């Protein structure tokens, strides 16, 4: 049983968190028993080595696809059998693959699992969120390092918020593929490996040192493998659990010396305590861990068995609870507001448009039947719709699209950012065309949902065209299947001729999307 901070924000549910990593695909299925705990029901793991399956052109191979399909089919069968809600995320290998969109689409077609490709910063944030669920680090300034197959995530956090987060292409599978070319290991390759790692780490770790931390946590398979190796080398009894145990700097040097003596893969596979499946990649992983330890002068690491998958679980609960009620403590709303403030948006106007858009979305729910996640996307798009004014009025919807599309907002996946950006892109001027490049990236269902949200946002924006907040409330009513009426209620006896004129223009897109006529009525 793993405890969460008490916060009544979600209902009891069963969730399957799937991490499509660069080395392995992991699944964790849990029951959310109460608002502050979950119980693990099942777990599954399959080593697919995606990052090692990138070809010379940067594409994932058909062999990688076959392995991933096989692993995910099995996980889907287990999750469906246990009636678990699935959420799957893809990390480093999928972030980098040039054919990632096609690869993920084929996985969905073959397995029914929809994979969200998350940014490096988002992965780091989820790791931090997951570690918080297993270790009492909320009040501590904590360094967290997760050495994966394709990347290493480094986070410094305190009071539940990350003060620094980054992702480096220093994964143990990637480094092994790039630097370990001989068996047994050659001194020249090892020196090149260590030099490369130190060169990439030093500028990042100088920032970590500037911020400072009191507590160091390792949450990857690498640090667990090193601890297991140390226990084997020292003939120590196995631990009841590694979670919360420590790995000292001295123990890291013991493990490193043993690996440098065991130069051949065969010798490493025979080392006591070391999982034979990690024997080929453990050297690169340990070099990353030892370099961070040395550069930062860390005396002791605490091992966490909770990380990305637990972060996915808790983040999923937040998405289903806090965000949709608009709680400003939620990371997504904080990141949206922070992003908007960087571009000096007119917040009063942004909040006004956001309230109109969300109100229309809710009132039209029986007509559009969109999942609640689209309410979140529309809300974010409405709040951020004028970021492009930072450059200028002409084409500001396109500027905003570019800003959002290339942003890395904590709490959102790459695809979610693309959806929000596209809604904003079409909130003015023309609606989407089938051959629009940004629009073609989506399947028909997402295109339909983007059209619905864009038409709602266009209407919402028109209702505060004068930017003075003259309209207090809007009420949408069904007159018949082919006709609706929007009643506009004023705060006072204002002149809203401009707003009524703009709404008359923008309602055309709304009418086309909802296949009905819309009458706009002013209520004095």
**Phi, psi for 454 (deg, rounded to 5):** -65, -40
pLDDT digit string, tens, across residues 464-503: 888 877 887 889 998 998 999 999 888 667 788 888 888 8
What DSSP line would sit under 456-522, residue for residue?
HHHHHHHTTTTSS--EEEEEEEEEETTEEEEEEEESSS---HHHHHHHHHHHHHHHHHHTSEEEEEE
Token pair 């990350």 in the structure block, residue = 162
The DSSP call for residue 338 is H
DSSP 212: -
Q: How high is the pLDDT of residue 262?
A: 92
Positions in the chain whose pLDDT score sits under 70: 1-11, 33-37, 318-330, 491-492, 524
Task: Give the chain's mean pLDDT.
Answer: 87
Q: Cα–Cα distance between 12 and 17 in angstroms, integer?
A: 16
* Chain segment 352-392, per-residue pLDDT in tens: 899 899 999 999 999 999 988 899 899 999 999 888 888 87
Q: What tokens appear for 418 in the block?
A: 């693309």
What pLDDT sits at residue 11? 58
Q: What is the pLDDT of residues 294-316, one digit of tens each?
A: 999 999 999 999 889 888 888 87
pLDDT digits (tens, 9 = 90+) for 90-135: 998 999 899 998 999 999 999 999 998 988 888 988 999 889 888 8
Instruction: Residue 38: name the closest of 69, 97, 81, 84 by CA.
Output: 84
For the entire predicted model, the pTM comes to: 0.66
Distance of CA 46 to the CA centre of its chain: 22
Query: What gap in Å lies between CA 364 and CA 474, rounded to an integer?
Result: 12
Structural domains of the chain ordered from first start: 2-118 (3.30.420.40), 135-304 (3.30.420.150), 321-523 (1.10.3210.10)
Distance, in Å, from the CA atom of 275 to the CA atom of 372, rounded to the nearest integer, reads 44
């Amino acid at each position: 049983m793993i405890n969460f901070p008490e916060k009544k924000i979600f209902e009891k549910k069963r969730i399957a968190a799937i991490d499509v990593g660069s080395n392995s695909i992991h699944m964790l299925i849990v029951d959310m028993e109460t608002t502050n705990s979950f119980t693990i029901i099942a777990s599954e793991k399959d080593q697919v080595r995606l990052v090692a399956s990138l070809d010379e052109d940067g594409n994932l191979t058909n062999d990688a696809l076959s392995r991933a399909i096989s692993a995910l089919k099995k996980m889907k069968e287990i999750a469906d059998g246990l009636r678990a809600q699935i959420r799957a995320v893809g990390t480093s290998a999928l972030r980098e693959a040039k054919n990632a969109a096609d690869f993920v689409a084929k996985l969905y077609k073959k397995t029914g699992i929809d994979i969200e490709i998350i940014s490096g910063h988002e992965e780091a944030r989820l790791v931090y969120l997951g570690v918080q669920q297993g270790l009492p680090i909320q009040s501590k300034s904590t360094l967290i390092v997760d050495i994966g197959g394709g990347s290493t995530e480094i986070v410094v956090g305190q009071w539940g918020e990350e003060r620094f987060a980054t992702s480096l292409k220093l994964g143990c599978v990637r480094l092994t593929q790039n630097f370990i070319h001989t068996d047994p290991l050659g001194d020249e390759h090892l020196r090149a490996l260590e030099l490369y790692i130190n060169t990439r780490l030093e500028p990042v770790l100088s920032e970590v040192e500037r911020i400072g931390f009191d507590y160091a946590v390792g949450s990857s398979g690498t640090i667990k493998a090193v601890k297991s190796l140390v226990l084997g080398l020292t003939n120590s009894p196995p631990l009841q659990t590694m979670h919360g145990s420590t790995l000292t700097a001295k123990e890291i040097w013991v493990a490193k010396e043993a690996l440098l003596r065991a130069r051949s893969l065969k010798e490493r596979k025979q080392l006591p305590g070391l999982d034979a499946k990690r024997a080929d990649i453990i050297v690169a992983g340990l070099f990353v861990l030892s370099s961070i330890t040395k550069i930062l002068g860390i005396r002791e690491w605490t091992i966490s068995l909770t990380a990305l998958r637990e972060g996915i679980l808790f983040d999923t609960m937040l998405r289903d609870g806090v965000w949709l009620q608009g709680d400003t403590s939620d990371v997504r709303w904080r990141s949206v507001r922070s992003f908007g403030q960087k571009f000096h948006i007119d917040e009063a106007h942004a909040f006004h448009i956001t309230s109109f858009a969300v109100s229309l979305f809710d009132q039209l729910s029986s007509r559009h039947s969109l999942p609640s996640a689209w309410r979140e996307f529309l809300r974010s798009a409405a709040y951020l719709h004028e970021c492009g004014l930072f450059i200028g009025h002409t084409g500001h919807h396109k500027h905003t699209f570019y800003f959002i599309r290339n942003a890395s907002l904590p709490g959102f996946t790459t695809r979610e950012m693309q959806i929000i950006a596209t809604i904003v892109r079409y909130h003015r001027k023309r609606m989407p065309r089938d051959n629009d490049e940004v629009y073609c990236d989506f399947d028909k269902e997402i295109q339909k949902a983007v059209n619905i949200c864009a038409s709602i946002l266009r209407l919402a924006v028109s209702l505060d065209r004068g930017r003075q907040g003259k309209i207090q409330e809007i009420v949408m009513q069904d007159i018949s299947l082919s006709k609706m009426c929007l009643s506009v209620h004023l705060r006072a006896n204002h002149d809203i001729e401009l707003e009524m004129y703009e709404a008359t223009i923008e309602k055309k897109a709304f009418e086309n999307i909802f296949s009905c006529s819309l009458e706009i009525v002013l209520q004095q």
